[in-house]
């Protein structure tokens, strides 16, 4: 019996399912809008954030891909354990362009959880920050290394520039990558057992991000704020790849803080966002000094017009969010994470 390699799904025919890799999607966006700002860093400490145009973002991703290729092989699993920093996104596209598979790891994990994911995925490298919210991540990563036989390197994001410089002289062609190749492994929550690693391919990731934004009503050139964590599909797929597909300017919040989100929405005239109900009840935080400090100084209702979230967001959540950001949100019914429908 001939094994099945594809599946059939009936449904809307628009937008079309495109045959693209992550690298091709980014290169296409940079070719069309090289000077448009692609990524803005939103920092919790209030310091001015860095920014990259599409052309610059593509260049950084290619530099990361060559640095990775100088040390690892196509098909290798590369783990990332960090909060929402721009280098996370550069590594995401760099691994994809180098033909490697990114393993996303929740920055809240403790030692045993980290050990499990590194063992189960067979990651050859782990990129991490020194610590996050008091979690000593670098120390835990180094503690995991001796027992993880496949893990050859722990790379600090603090040393990102030095790491990328290693491959700067590598001008050869990057490997051929196809839309059906695996690009990412994301782990389930593990609520009813050990987390399961779901292998996701380029085609599914690229199209899910673009289709989500299409259903949400995001328009080309919008400014979108990413407050969802990048280790989750809502951050690295629907938000990150949705922005690339729609040529949006993306404001990347390094960690969720309601005051910071409102401040960045006003500062950058954001008109699109995705959040879960807990995030959207931001008026509770309006009583805190931080949110009062970041309170928008003008009416933002004409700007923030695209909103996405779970299928069932209660009316009370919409009302509370509307009061907090002065915006009549349109709560769209958007499809959930269904990578299998795009195989």
∠ CA 83-41-231, nearest 5°, is: 25
The pLDDT tens digits along the chain (343 residues) read: 788 877 777 777 888 999 999 999 999 999 999 999 999 999 988 788 999 999 999 999 999 999 999 999 999 999 999 999 999 999 999 999 999 999 999 999 999 999 999 999 999 999 999 999 999 999 999 999 999 999 999 999 999 999 999 876 666 689 999 999 999 999 988 778 888 999 999 999 999 999 999 999 999 999 999 999 999 999 999 999 999 999 999 999 999 988 888 889 889 999 888 888 778 765 344 434 444 444 444 444 335 555 565 554 555 555 555 555 544 344 333 333 333 333 3
What pairs with residue 42 in β-bridges? 253
Tally Cβ neighbours within 10 Å of residue 102: 26
Distance of CA 200 to the CA centre of its chain: 14
Distance CA 337, CA 87 (A): 24
Residue pair 316/331 in contact (Cβ under 8 Å)? The answer is no
Distance of CA 76 to the CA centre of its chain: 20
Give the chain's domains with CATH numbers. 22-342 (3.40.50.12780)
What pairs with residue 104 in β-bridges? 80
Distance between first and last Cα of the chain: 21
Distance of CA 42 to the CA centre of its chain: 14
Distance CA 184, CA 5 (A): 19
Which letter does DSSP use for residue 78 in this model? E
**What per-residue confidence (pLDDT) applies to 319?**
57
Tokens describing residue 54:
């599409």
Total residues found in the chain within this entry: 343
Q: How far is CA 281 from CA 277, 317, 320, in A?
A: 6, 6, 6
**What per-residue confidence (pLDDT) applies to 313?**
55
Distance CA 132, CA 254 (A): 11
Distance CA 91, CA 85 (A): 10
**What per-residue confidence (pLDDT) applies to 135?**
95
Distance CA 84, CA 231 (A): 8
Residue among 226, 228, 250, 218 at smallest CA distance from 39: 250
**What per-residue confidence (pLDDT) applies to 333?**
35
**What per-residue confidence (pLDDT) applies to 121?**
97
Distance CA 203, CA 334 (A): 20
Residue among 85, 81, 80, 96 at smallest CA distance from 40: 85
**What per-residue confidence (pLDDT) applies to 331?**
39
Residue 155 DSSP SS3: strand
């Amino acid at each position: 019996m001939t094994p099945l390699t594809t599946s059939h799904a009936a449904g809307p025919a628009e937008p079309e399912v495109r045959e693209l890799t992550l690298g091709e999607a980014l290169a296409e966006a940079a070719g069309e809008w090289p000077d448009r700002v692609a990524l803005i860093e939103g920092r919790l400490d209030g310091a001015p954030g860095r920014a990259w145009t599409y052309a610059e973002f593509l260049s950084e991703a290619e530099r990361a891909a060559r640095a990775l290729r100088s040390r690892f092989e196509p098909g290798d699993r590369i783990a990332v354990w960090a909060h929402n920093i721009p280098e996370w996104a550069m590594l995401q596209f760099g691994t994809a362009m180098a033909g490697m598979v990114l393993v996303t790891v929740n920055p809240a994990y403790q030692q045993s959880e980290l050990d499990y994911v590194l063992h189960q995925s067979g990651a050859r490298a782990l990129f991490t920050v020194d610590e996050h919210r008091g979690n000593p991540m670098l120390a835990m990563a180094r503690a995991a290394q001796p027992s993880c036989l496949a893990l050859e390197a722990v790379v600090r994001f603090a040393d990102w520039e030095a790491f990328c410089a290693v491959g700067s002289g590598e001008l050869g062609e990057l490997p051929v990558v196809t839309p059906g190749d695996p690009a990412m492994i994301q782990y389930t929550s593990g609520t009813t057992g050990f987390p399961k690693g779901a292998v996701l391919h380029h085609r599914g990731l690229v199209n899910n991000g673009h289709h989500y934004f299409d259903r949400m009503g995001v328009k080309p050139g919008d400014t979108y704020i990413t407050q969802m964590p990048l280790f989750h599909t809502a951050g690295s797929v629907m938000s990150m790849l949705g922005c690339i597909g729609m040529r949006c300017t993306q404001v990347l919040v390094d960690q969720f803080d309601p005051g910071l989100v409102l401040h960045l929405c006003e500062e950058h005239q954001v008109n699109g966002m995705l959040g879960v109900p807990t995030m959207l009840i931001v008026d509770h935080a309006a009583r805190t000094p931080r949110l009062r400090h970041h309170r928008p100084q003008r009416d933002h209702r004409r700007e923030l017009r695209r909103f996405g979230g779970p299928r069932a967001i209660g009316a009370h959540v919409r009302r509370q969010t509307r009061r907090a950001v002065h915006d009549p949100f349109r709560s769209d019914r958007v499809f959930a994470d269904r990578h299998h429908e795009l195989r």
